[in-house]
Amino acid sequence: MNAWRRLRSDPRGVVGAALILAIAGAALVAPLIARGDPIAQDLGIRLQAPSAAHWLGTDGAGRDVWARLIYGARVSLAVGFISQGIAVTLGLTFGLLAGFYGRWVDEIIMRLADVTLAFPTLLLLIAMVAALSPSLVVVFATIGLVGWAGMARLVRGQVLVVRELEFVQAIRALGARDRLIIVRHVLPNVVAPVIIAATLGIAGAIMAEAALSFLGLGVQPPTPSWGSMIADGRDLAQLRHAPWTSVAPGLAIGAAVMAFNLLGDALRDAFDPRSRRTR
C-alpha cells in the first residue's frame, strides 16, 4: 500500500501511466478512430499535407498516416508486452534456479547468460531474425529470447540475498520442499525488481521492433509498423516536402518509450524509496 501511495504521488508515474493508457486505448479502438483503412493505397492523394480529411497527411503510397499510426500502436504494444512476457518467464525461471541451487546449476545458467550478453543486442536480433523468416511471431520470440539473460542475472542476485534470510533458513530446516520455498517464499521477494525491469524492458522492446522494421526485418508489409513507416519516409526529398510521414511515427515511438521509462523510474522509487535519496 505504501508503494502504491508513493507511485500515485509521483508525477513521473502519473504522466507515464496516462500516456500508456492513451496509447493502449487508441490501439484498442483503432477501427473507430483510424478514419480509414491503414493499408488502402490511393496514388492520387500521395504525400498530401495534413488536413481535415487526413489528420496527419498521407504517405508516398497515398495511405493515411493517422490510420497507420494508430494501427501501428497495436504492433508496438504487442511486441513490447509479449516479448517481455517471454523474457520474464525465462529469466525468472532460470534466475530462481541459479540463485537458489547454486553450484553447477548456477554455473551453467550464468555462462549461457554471459554468452547471450556478450553479443550486441541489435546485431544478435538481426542475425536471429535474418536466419528465420521475418514475421511478427519471430520478432516476439527473438526479442524475448535475447532479453532473458539480463532478467536472469537480476533475479539471481535477488535470490542469493533472499535465500540466506533467517525465515528461509528456518523453513528449510523444517523440511519444506524446495519447490514450496521457491514459489511461496523466495518468488514474492523478487517480484518487485522484476516488475520494474520488465516495465523498462518494454520500452527497449518497442525500440528494438522499430529498428528491425526500419531495416525490413521486422513486421512485414502491408501490416503498419512505426519503424517501417519511418523507413518509408526516409528519402531526403520526401523528408523535405512531406516530413510528417517520418516525424509522426518517430514522435509516437518517442512518446511510448518515454512513457514506459517514466513509469519504470516511478516504480523503482515507489518500491525502494532509498534509490531516490542515493541519486
Averaged pLDDT of the chain: 88
pLDDT bucket at 273, cuts 50 / 70 / 90: low
Residue range 146-159: mean pLDDT, rounded: 92
d(CA 99, CA 156): 4
d(CA 61, CA 53): 16
Task: Give the other-Cβ count within 10 Å of 112's Cβ.
Answer: 15
Look up the domain containing 133 and give its range. Answer: 2-278
- Half-sphere exposure in the Cβ direction for 188 (13 Å, CA): 6
d(CA 22, CA 198): 20
Number of domains the chain contains:
1
Q: Phi and psi dihedrals of 234, rounded to 5?
A: -80, -10
Return the higher-pLDDT residue of 220 and 93. 93
204: pLDDT strictly greater than 70: yes
50 contacts 57 by C-beta, under 8 angstroms: yes
Residue of 243, 220, 224, 222 lying closest to 56 (CA atoms): 243
One-letter identity of residue 18? A
DSSP state of 273: T
Quick one: cell of 108? Answer: 551453467
Q: What is the predicted pLDDT for the residue at 27? A: 93
d(CA 223, CA 97): 39
d(CA 155, CA 125): 23
Strand partners for 58: 64
- Sign (positive/negative) of CA torsion 90, 94, 97, 99? negative
Residue of 64, 60, 58 lying closest to 39 (CA atoms): 64
DSSP state of 36: S
190 contacts 160 by C-beta, under 8 angstroms: no
Residue of 220, 226, 216 lying closest to 59 (CA atoms): 226
166-192: per-residue pLDDT in tens? 888 888 887 788 888 888 888 888 888
Which CATH number belongs to the domain containing residue 199 in this structure?
1.10.3720.10
Residue range 4-21: mean pLDDT, rounded: 88
Residues recorded for the chain: 279
Q: What is the DSSP string of 53-80?
A: SSTT-B-TTS-BHHHHHHHHHHHHHHHH
Please identify which residue in the block is written with the cell numbers 528456518.
170
253-267: per-residue pLDDT in tens? 999 999 999 999 898
